[in-house]
Structure 1
């Protein structure tokens, strides 16, 4: 059994449980629908959290395998899987060592998770491995701002932010990491979004990449 102790953030998980519900009402639900629109086949969702994506999967999806390492969030995801419109299986595990054969999935979803994984390159290599050739990677992440001043501010706050927000690093260039892992980005939207009215406005990316 995988040792997932480094991924346990119970205080943040309970805070995220509250904030994610508020964020859904503040426009996050529409962003999740955009992220998942048009998906089909067998999908792996990496870092599924408390399962906020599950209601938004389209009916063309045959199965979702949702991997989540944090115990409290995974329990919430298991609860959210029951009423989902497509079959969802919630799995104990982490993104750096996905327990699946190469080419097992038609698509992969990463949603507000690549900010907090220990090593983006390792995770994206695993995602690439389990995708079929031509498989899609759908991504929705908050990232380092293209504005130089805001970017420097993100660099400055990142050490404290990591302690408060479950090891989240808001200053990563995730689009570059996706390309560096060998994916071809076919569509990307960059925008600023406030998850809740009291949250800071943060740069985000949302789009589709493909394994060649």
Structure 2
């Protein structure tokens, strides 16, 4: 049975305000890069309050936006109503997508792989629903690229209160390695700080694309 109807009302309110501020500080440009060139049928996982919707190109025929948190899903529906492409917002979780095998052209994830219960399961689901040759587009904050104080602090807060305060978010996940391990072939990868401050706990970010191979690897 699917696990749905997540409720983090305090975090959702904070996230709505924070996502708007982050977009004003440069996030909008990253969102545009995230979805640039997409076409066909898209699943956006953990769509939140729908701030990607306005940037989908006209070649996209349908977006199925999956979001488990009640308040964010309601905000996402309002954003869907104003989107330039057809967006359907549904209740659901990354680990159990309500989508047929091999039926979509792209899966979009932004600021979601930090908070899923299992990256392995969520990425396996993305792989399952993509057609061979389909793309995973990702924009995520990740563990610091090099050993040092920031990585130590990220791991320390993950072991204490950060996930509780931030709706299950983790600061120290090695998301790029998880994407590789899920069987995807990474075709583009940009590493950068956002916001560009050495003091930002979740400043290290990646934005890129990965492909479900046309030929399945030998088992």
* TM exceeding 0.5: yes
Q: Deviations over 1:98-154 (max 9, x none)?
A: 111101100000100000001000000001000000000000000000121121111
1:199 is displaced (CA, Å) by 5.7
Identify the residue that residue 114 of structure 1 maps to in structure 2: 113
TM-score by length of 2: 0.92
Identify the residue that residue 59 of structure 1 maps to in structure 2: 58
Q: Report SS of the residue matched to 1:27.
A: helix
Q: Is residue 192 of structure 2 the alignment partner of residue 194 of structure 1?
A: no
Identify the residue that residue 152 of structure 2 maps to in structure 1: 152
Identify the residue that residue 217 of structure 2 maps to in structure 1: none
**Matched pairs, number:** 210
- Structure 2 gap segments, 5+ residues each: 214-219
Q: Distance in 2 between matches of 1:73 and 1:139?
A: 19
Q: Distance in 1 between matches of 2:62 and 2:121?
A: 25
Q: Report SS of the residue matched to 1:166.
A: coil
Q: Does structure 2 retain, via aligned residues, the 8 Å contact 1:116–1:168? A: yes
1:200 is displaced (CA, Å) by 4.5
Q: Deviations over 1:166-205 (max 9, x none)?
A: 1100100000000100000010000111289x96461000
Q: Distance in 2 between matches of 1:195 and 1:100?
A: 37
Stretches of 4+ aligned residues off by more than 2 angstroms? 1-5, 198-201
Higher mean alpha-carbon deviation, 37-46 vs 159-168, is at 159-168
Q: Does structure 1 retain, via aligned residues, the 8 Å contact 2:142–2:202? A: no
Q: Distance in 2 between matches of 1:134 and 1:53?
A: 23
Q: Distance in 2 between matches of 1:15 and 1:143?
A: 20
Q: Distance in 1 between matches of 2:196 and 2:17?
A: 12
Change (3 A) 1:199 1:52: farther
Change (3 A) 1:112 1:30: same
Identify the residue that residue 33 of structure 2 maps to in structure 1: 34
1:23 is displaced (CA, Å) by 1.1
Identify the residue that residue 24 of structure 2 maps to in structure 1: 25
